[in-house]
């Protein structure tokens, strides 16, 4: 059991991870500015954990921006004065839309990169040296090898990906591991950092009470299909059926958000137990699924015909992105349990129970 700061913890992946962390008896402080989330997600996450009578000591909320140095420092100081210093940070906070990052590159660099520098500075100042960071498979760009191993070339294709790759480099500098090309590199300055590269997180908590709540028109496949199935959008546009894949549509490694949440717990435990290190892991299932296969699975779960049209390829898309997950299994002993049907069923349950989101 540890005292954790969960930065960006009200968001899609953060809110699900809070449940898993509470179930492990961690005490959590969520720090979020709610720029892309709702406090309702946290109220619900709290009720979904196995812990009864959650007090403010076990779960509390700080509304703030990671770029607000004064407020961020005050949160670390508050818990030092309570003699229960923050022992680790799980860092989900950031902006994540590829399309938007082309329009507002300044804003993406400011929130993602400056925000992370600020957070690391606050951690350093208060002697908190354990961080789990949300990175993304987007940093691999067009992969030269599939399944993609962690040591594949890093070649981001958009401003969002550039910010993630830059933060990864920054974190390796902080851990004193800049020149090592290792998945598990020793840090000689006391830092314990995990850089987790998520593939395609989808689905929702099995209760249907929390899930992904995109603002405006969704960009990603799962939220988009959900909105077609519920009748908010007329038809799914499939971005190309001439990719070099088994059915011509793009293939991705979709991972259930609750499996991803468990992956964070496993990575955190590994950091606590092991010597100072910089750990870099893919979190995916290692299985590829095409757009058509997702569509068919949705039709089965919803018992609805989902209209679609084939349109031209989307800028920046690649044919296939599948994780090599050998290392996550070997090092943190984690492997996803849920399959495509669970992902579709749970995201649909969330969609029909909350047609307008939170």
Q: Which residues bind ligand UD1 (CB under 6 A)?
A: 96, 98, 136, 138, 200, 219-221, 224, 237-239, 250, 252, 291, 314, 316-317, 321
Q: Assign 3-class secondary structure to the chain.
A: CCEEEEECCCCHHHHHHHHHHHHCCCEEEEEECCCCCCHHHHHHHHHHCCCCCCCCCCEEEEECCCCCHHHHHHHHHHHHHCCCCCCEEEECCCCCCHHHHHHCHHHHHHHHHHHHHHHHHHHHHCCCCEEEEEEEHHHHCCCCCCCECCCCCCCCCCHHHHHHHHHHHHHHHHCCCCCCCCCEEECCCCCEEEEEEECEEECCCCCCCCCCCCCCCCCCHHHHHHHHHCCCCCCEEEECCCCCCCCCCCEECEEEHHHHHHHHHHHHHHHHHCCCEEEEEEECCCCCEEHHHHHHHHHHHHCCCCCEEEECCCCCCCCEECECCHHHHHHHCCCCCCCHHHHHHHHHHHHHHCCCCC
Q: Does 111 bind ligand NAD (CB under 6 A)?
A: yes
The total number of residues shown for the chain amounts to 358
Q: Does 123 bind ligand NAD (CB under 6 A)?
A: no
Q: Which of 24, 34, 121, 219 binds ligand NAD (CB under 6 A)?
A: 34
Shortest Å distance, C-beta 287 to ligand NAD: 17
Q: What contacts 274, CB < 8 A, 6 or more positions away?
A: 192
Torsion sign across C-alpha atoms 8, 10, 11, 14:
positive
Return the one option of ligand UD1, ligand NAD, none that residue 177 interacts with (CB less than 5 to 8 A, by type): none
Closest residue to ligand UD1, based on beta-carbon distance:
250
Q: Does 328 bind ligand NAD (CB under 6 A)?
A: no
Respond yes or no: is residue 160 known to be catalytic: yes
Considering beta carbons, is residue 11 or 147 the nearer one to ligand NAD? 11
Considering beta carbons, is residue 98 or 123 the nearer one to ligand UD1? 98
Shortest Å distance, C-beta 348 to ligand UD1: 16
Q: Does 71 bind ligand NAD (CB under 6 A)?
A: no
Asked whether the bond before 138 is cis by omega within 30 degrees of 0, the reply is: no
Considering beta carbons, is residue 60 or 219 the nearer one to ligand UD1? 219
Of the candidate spans 64-72, 261-269, 297-305, 313-321, the one that interacts with ligand NAD by CB under 6 A turns out to be: 64-72
Considering beta carbons, is residue 11 or 141 the nearer one to ligand NAD? 11
Beta-bridged to residue 185, according to DSSP, are: 278
Q: Does 96 bind ligand NAD (CB under 6 A)?
A: yes
Return the one option of ligand UD1, ligand NAD, none that residue 111 interacts with (CB less than 5 to 8 A, by type): ligand NAD
Torsion sign across C-alpha atoms 183, 188, 189, 192:
positive
Closest residue to ligand NAD, based on beta-carbon distance:
11
CB 150 within 8 A of CB 282: yes
Q: Does 49 bind ligand NAD (CB under 6 A)?
A: no
Shortest Å distance, C-beta 35 to ligand UD1: 16
Return the one option of ligand UD1, ligand NAD, none that residue 291 interacts with (CB less than 5 to 8 A, by type): ligand UD1
Considering beta carbons, is residue 90 or 175 the nearer one to ligand NAD? 90
Return the one option of ligand UD1, ligand NAD, none that residue 166 interacts with (CB less than 5 to 8 A, by type): none
Q: Of the listed 79, 140, 160, 254, which one is catalytic?
A: 160
Of the candidate spans 4-12, 80-88, 274-282, 345-353, the one that interacts with ligand NAD by CB under 6 A turns out to be: 4-12
Active site residues: 160
Interface with ligand NAD by CB under 6 A: which residues? 8, 10-14, 32-37, 65-67, 92-94, 96, 111, 115, 134, 136, 198, 201
């Amino acid at each position: 059991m540890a005292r954790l700061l969960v930065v960006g913890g009200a968001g899609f992946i953060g809110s699900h991870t809070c449940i898993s962390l509470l179930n492990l008896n961690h005490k959590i402080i969520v720090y979020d500015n709610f720029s892309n989330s709702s406090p309702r997600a946290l109220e619900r996450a709290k009720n979904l954990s196995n812990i009864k009578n959650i007090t403010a000591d076990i779960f509390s909320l700080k509304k703030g921006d990671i770029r607000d140095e004064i407020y961020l420092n005050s949160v670390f100081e508050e818990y030092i004065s309570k003699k229960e210093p923050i022992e680790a940070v799980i860092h989900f906070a950031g902006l994540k839309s590829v399309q938007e990052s082309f329009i507002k590159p300044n804003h993406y660099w400011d929130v993602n990169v400056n925000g992370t520098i600020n957070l690391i500075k606050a951690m350093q100042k208060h002697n908190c040296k354990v961080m789990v960071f949300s990175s993304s498979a987007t940093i691999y760009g067009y992969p030269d090898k599939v399944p993609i191993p962690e040591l594949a070339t890093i070649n981001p294709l958009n401003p969002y990906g550039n910010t993630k790759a830059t933060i990864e480099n920054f974190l390796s500098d902080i851990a004193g591991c800049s020149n090592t090309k290792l998945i598990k590199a020793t840090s000689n300055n006391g830092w314990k950092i995990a850089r987790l590269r998520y593939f395609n997180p989808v689905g929702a908590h099995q209760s249907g009470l929390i899930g992904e709540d995109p603002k405006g028109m969704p960009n990603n496949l799962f939220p988009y299909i959900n909105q077609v199935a519920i009748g908010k959008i007329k038809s799914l546009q499939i971005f190309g059926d001439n990719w070099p894949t088994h059915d011509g549509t793009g293939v991705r490694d979709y991972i259930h958000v609750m499996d991803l949440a468990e992956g964070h717990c496993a990575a955190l435990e590994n950091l606590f137990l092991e010597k100072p290190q910089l750990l870099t892991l893919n979190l995916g299932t290692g299985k590829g699924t095409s757009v058509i296969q997702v569509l068919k699975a949705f039709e089965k779960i919803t018992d609805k015909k989902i209209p679609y049209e084939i349109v031209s390829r989307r800028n920046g898309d690649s044919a296939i992105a599948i994780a090599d997950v050998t290392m996550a299994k070997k090092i943190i002993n984690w492997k996803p349990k849920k399959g495509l049907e669970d992902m579709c069923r749970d995201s649909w349950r969330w969609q029909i129970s909350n047609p307008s989101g939170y």
